[in-house]
């Protein structure tokens, strides 16, 4: 069912207001990756159980597999089926053209990240691309997110330890954040304060003092990427500081794969894999999401 421009603009207006609500009321949207219908259903069921507003997001890999319009339709269908407050984010869009396609498809949130495709992109290139997307997004009112440099890691289970001395070299700074926000006009700044894509053998450590200084330096929203493998108390502190969006992917994927492997081993004669996924795997992924929503303080914050 195609979404109209009027509906897109209404959704974006509501999303923008809800991000303001999150900051004022000290809670954060959980932004959960959509790999397939099963993960979408897990997100919707968790949102329904917790009465929490959520984002689902797709990166370029999921866009290539599913398609922007299909994602939009899937989310709209699940939203009405479960009666939940849910929005769509285009995560780590690697180019201006890809970001514009997400805006055209009616996504409420757009993350432009040209450094994802080109780790050596200059400051000037990143700012110019981000400004172009910000200007284009005014047509629908979509919220634009970005950061001034490449954010490391990958949405996987890593075996290496975290070299914090190396990672600290890419930490955000209050002055750098302020300059980037002023230069681009973005709605959301993706901060780097110890968060890192993927899950590692040791828990992640967030520099909350730095996060507070960044919060004091910028007026826009702040997001945290790479939330998997982070102890919940860091999230509880982050939302009190004023973070309004936290991305989770690897924790979900690990729960999905491990639970699928377990149920396949337990039921070797069942060849309807979708039956096993819907009957068992979705529940395990849902548990992960509900745990996150509790630490984001977003329980009972939904407005449908």
Q: What is the mean pLDDT of each run of 10 residues along the chain (304 residues)?
A: 90 98 98 96 98 97 95 96 98 96 98 86 94 98 91 64 75 96 98 81 86 98 92 96 96 96 96 95 98 98 95
Cα–Cα distance list, 293 to 25, 49, 55 (Å): 15, 10, 11
Quote the pLDDT of residue 236.
Answer: 97
User: Does 3.20.20.70 match the CATH number of domain 5-295?
Assistant: yes
Cα 247 versus chain centre, distance: 4
Give the residues across from 29 on adjacent strands.
245
DSSP state of 221: E
Tokens representing 286 are 């849902």
Cα–Cα distance list, 167 to 108, 152, 205, 221, 302 (Å): 31, 8, 11, 23, 35
Cβ-contact 27, 50 below 8 angstroms? no
Quote the pLDDT of residue 188.
Answer: 98
CA distance 77 to 102: 18
Cβ-contact 151, 225 below 8 angstroms? yes
* CA contacts within 13 A on the Cβ side of 275: 5
Q: With H, G, I as helix, E, B as strand and everything else as coil, classify residue 24.
A: helix
Tokens representing 76 are 């709209």
Q: Where are the domains of the chain?
A: 5-295
Quote the pLDDT of residue 195.
Answer: 83
CA distance 104 to 126: 21
CA distance 192 to 115: 14
Q: Which segments of the chain are extended strands (E)?
A: 29-33, 54-58, 86-93, 109-112, 143-146, 153-157, 188-191, 197-199, 221-224, 245-248
Quote the pLDDT of residue 216.
Answer: 98
Quote the pLDDT of residue 268.
Answer: 95
CA distance 262 to 187: 42
Quote the pLDDT of residue 155.
Answer: 64
The end-to-end CA distance of the chain, in Å, is 20
CA distance 212 to 131: 26
Cα–Cα distance list, 24 to 20, 176, 239 (Å): 6, 24, 10
Cα 189 versus chain centre, distance: 12
Residues designated as active site: 91
């Amino acid at each position: 069912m195609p979404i109209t421009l009027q509906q897109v603009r209404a959704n974006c207006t509501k999303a923008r207001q809800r991000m303001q609500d999150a900051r004022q009321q000290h809670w954060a949207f959980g932004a959960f990756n959509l790999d397939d219908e099963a993960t979408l259903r897990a997100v919707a069921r968790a949102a329904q159980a917790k009465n929490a507003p959520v984002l689902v997001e797709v990166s370029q890999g999921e866009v290539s597999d599913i398609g922007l319009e299909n994602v939009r339709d899937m989310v709209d269908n699940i939203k009405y089926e479960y009666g939940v407050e849910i929005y769509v984010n285009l995560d780590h869009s690697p180019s201006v053209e890809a970001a514009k396609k997400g805006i055209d498809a009616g996504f409420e949130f757009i993350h432009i990240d040209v450094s994802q495709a080109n780790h050596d992109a200059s400051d000037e290139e990143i700012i110019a691309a981000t400004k172009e997307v910000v200007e284009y997004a005014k047509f629908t009112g979509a919220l634009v997110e970005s950061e001034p440099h490449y954010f490391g890691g990958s949405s996987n289970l890593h075996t290496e330890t975290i070299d914090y001395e190396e990672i600290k070299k890419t930490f955000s700074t209050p002055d750098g954040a302020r300059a980037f926000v002023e230069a681009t006009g973005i709605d959301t700044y993706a901060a780097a304060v110890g968060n890192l894509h993927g899950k590692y053998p040791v828990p992640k450590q967030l520099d909350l003092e730095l996060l507070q200084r960044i919060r004091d330096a910028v007026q826009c929203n702040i997001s945290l990427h790479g939330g998997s493998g982070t102890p919940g108390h860091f999230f509880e502190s982050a939302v009190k500081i004023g973070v309004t969006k936290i991305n989770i992917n690897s924790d979900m994927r690990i729960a999905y794969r491990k639970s699928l492997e377990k149920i396949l081993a337990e039921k070797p004669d069942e060849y309807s894999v979708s039956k096993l996924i819907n009957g068992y795997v979705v529940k395990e992924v849902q548990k992960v999401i509900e745990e996150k929503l509790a630490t984001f303080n977003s329980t009972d914050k939904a407005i449908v």
